[in-house]
Amino acid sequence: MKRIILSAFLLPFVMHAQESENTLDELIIQNNRISIPFTEQNRNVSVISSEEIKDLPVKSINELLTYVSGVDIRQRGPFGTQADISIDGGSFEQTLILLNGVRISDHQTAHNSLNIPIPTDAIERIEILKGPAARIYGVNSLTGAVNIVTKKPVSNSFYANVFAGSSFKKDKEENNEMFNGRGVQLGFTLAKEKFQHQLYGSHESGSGYRYNTAYHNNKVFYQADFQPNDKNNYNLLAGYVNSNFGANGFYAAPGDKEAKEIVQTFMMAVQSKHRLSDNLVLMPQIGYRYNYDDYRYFRHKLDVARSQHYSNSLNAQLNLNYQVNFGEFGFGAEGRYEQINSSNIGEHERENFGFYAEFRTQEIEKIDITVGAYTNYNSVFGWQVFPGLDFSYLIQPEFKFIASAGTSQRIPSFTDLYLDQRPGNVGNPNLISEKALQYEGGFKFENDNFNAKAIVFYRDINDFIDWTRLSADVPWQANNVGSLRTTGVNASFDYRLKSEDNLWKFKLAYTYLSPKMEGLAEDNSSKYKIENFRHQLVNIIQWSNANWSALIANRYNERISYKDYFLTDLRVSYQHKKFNYYIDAQNIFDKTYIEAGAVPMPGRWFTLGVKFNTGI
């Protein structure tokens, strides 16, 4: 394992000496081997652009993803402190998170996967791939993958964002003070011809929105890009986040009213891209993640019911793209080492090795086909093979039919396997991996001002892992409970209308899910089988001119296990030279709702802020 990782680290410097005549292409969707422009994608892919990120009334990645239909963000700690993510009715453990194509998901528990030190202003786009993605990204992309792509600076600049907000309600249980929050984000970029640097830091804190929900979040992020010539490109990034927050009701309500959690995450990655000839491109990468999770059931009694987890993961990948006159081939190999030392999980480690192969061709008129497979070996779960196929037929220049079939695997987390929190939760070392097969088909229409798609899918997850129990006097335990079969529909359209100095944007997206669990005994209580959306609707309307912008976002969610709820958010902003003044109003109608467990989300919340950017 160590040799594989060392080789991937050294390869960028070995290949630096290779020369060719072509420059590296600027590609839109990062698939690590065969990168495909968004307009040519034959999969169900959604993209949040930097323009949308700037305009939405949000300050965290968690909040951004709530505006993507088919993506389920279940926040226990709002204001960016803690959230689970799932796609199209899967569980929160079944979505893979990547940063610039490098996996950064947490292997202790996916509750920590969105603990990411990336400020929204450093993000170029977020790519959401729906459906099994083992052929593209490897294991644990059972129901999809989220890839966060950072910006590359184009000028020297200084950036600052200062904001404060409140619900104007008082904490009557503790000190009768008004609930509030505030933050400051700073950033610097340096852009030269051959190298670019960016450094961001932020501090956010507040008293929360109900008893014991105060939070303190500190983040630092650095990225460097280096292009010594037009054949080679290097990227280094590193980030650290320290989140400290009240965890009232997070995992064991109502007994955990005095709970507190501290999560610290450090991550770094080194990547490079080298054109060795007109036809051959080599792309090595190496990534590391450290996570510390300190959960205190009683925040004032550290010697009672305290859980501490230290985890490390190291992964390396080598990807190859080779173009021929009838198509292009993609090959890759990866190695991953995962380790944990925990007070109630124990000490464990495991290794994972994978091999990729893909082929894409457009030789047949109007037809685009990509076929491939991922072969995986895990030191605990053995060998598996996951094939996949993407297909499209171009009906008209802007209108095409797409279809795909894919498979994937989710290896149980260390929490699933080894957790011992008696009498509350007990892991199961006899678990086997979840496996998914999905078929989808539909239509896409795309032109300069109007985009639309409608896709129907059927997914079968076998050996679905759920936490179940027969009665309230026994612990919850992780078990392979049967099959989860889901039929769903994703539909959306975006329209842009520009008239003189005004620009209007209109977006409407809808997801319908119909899951069916087979194999789970009727008398078993379950944590995850009925928590997903049935109906999800997202509508965004925006108007802007040279100085003013106003955006209203509506979300309708109906969960199978909860009542439905309708949320409306608003941002109004004014641009004056290098200053942008904005006011956000979230949950305008003060709706009471729950996303996870027994944690009520904030009601109406107002934020006033100002941004300064010398790069404008």
Residue with tokens 């499209």: 392
Please state, in angstroms and rounded to a whole number, the distance separating the CA atoms of residues 481 and 436.
Answer: 14
For 412, which DSSP code?
P
End-to-end CA, the chain: 46
pLDDT at 34 over 80: no
Q: Indicate the SS3 state at residue 295.
A: strand
pLDDT at 9 over 60: no
The token duo for 524 is: 């078993």
CATH number of 2-388+416-430+560-613: 2.40.170
pLDDT at 385 over 70: yes
The token duo for 243 is: 């989140």
Query: Which of 221-225, 454-458, 499-503 is least confident?
Result: 499-503
pLDDT category, 529, cuts 50, 70, 90? low
The fraction of the chain above a pLDDT of 70, given in percent, is 94
Domain ranges of the chain: 2-388+416-430+560-613
For 393, which DSSP code?
E
The closest of 412, 531, 530, 562 to 477, measured between CA atoms, is 412
pLDDT category, 6, cuts 50, 70, 90? very low
Q: Indicate the SS3 state at residue 523.
A: coil
pTM for this predicted structure:
0.92
- Total number of residues shown for the chain: 616
pLDDT in tens, 365-375: 999 999 999 99
Please state, in angstroms and rounded to a whole number, the distance separating the CA atoms of residues 113 and 104.
Answer: 7
pLDDT of residue 29: 64
What does DSSP say about strands 476-499 and 450-469: parallel, antiparallel, or unpaired? Answer: antiparallel
301 CB contacts (<8 Å, ≥6 apart)? Answer: none
207 CB contacts (<8 Å, ≥6 apart)? Answer: 171, 177, 178, 179, 180, 181, 213, 214
Please state, in angstroms and rounded to a whole number, the distance separating the CA atoms of residues 591 and 604.
Answer: 8
Residue with tokens 């030279």: 577
| Environment class of 589 (CB within 10 Å of its CB; exposed 0-12, middle 13-18, buried 19+) | exposed
Please state, in angstroms and rounded to a whole number, the distance separating the CA atoms of residues 452 and 468.
Answer: 40
Q: Which residues of 85-113 are buried (b: 16+ CB within 10 A; e: fewer)?
A: bbbbbbbbbbbbbbbbbbbbbbbbbbbbb
Mean pLDDT, rounded, for 518-535: 78
Mean pLDDT, rounded, for 132-146: 91
Mean pLDDT, rounded, for 388-400: 95
Q: What is the mean pLDDT of the chain?
A: 90
The token duo for 439 is: 């078929």
pLDDT of residue 615: 82
pLDDT in tens, 85-97: 999 999 889 999 9
Q: 585 vs 107, 123, 553, CA distance in Å?
A: 36, 23, 10
Query: Which of 2-16, 132-146, 394-408 is least confident?
Result: 2-16
pLDDT of residue 8: 38
pLDDT of residue 25: 37
What does DSSP say about strands 346-361 and 327-342: parallel, antiparallel, or unpaired? Answer: antiparallel
pLDDT category, 595, cuts 50, 70, 90? confident
Please check whether residue 336 is in contact with residue 352, taking contact to mean a CB–CB distance below 8 angstroms. Answer: yes
The closest of 535, 575, 526, 587 to 559, measured between CA atoms, is 535
What does DSSP say about strands 548-559 and 102-103: parallel, antiparallel, or unpaired? Answer: unpaired
pLDDT of residue 24: 32
The closest of 487, 432, 419, 425 to 465, measured between CA atoms, is 432
Please state, in angstroms and rounded to a whole number, the distance separating the CA atoms of residues 449 and 605.
Answer: 33
Residue with tokens 């669990």: 517
Please state, in angstroms and rounded to a whole number, the distance separating the CA atoms of residues 123 and 256.
Answer: 35
pLDDT at 13 over 70: no
Query: Which of 73-77, 226-230, 478-482 is least confident?
Result: 73-77
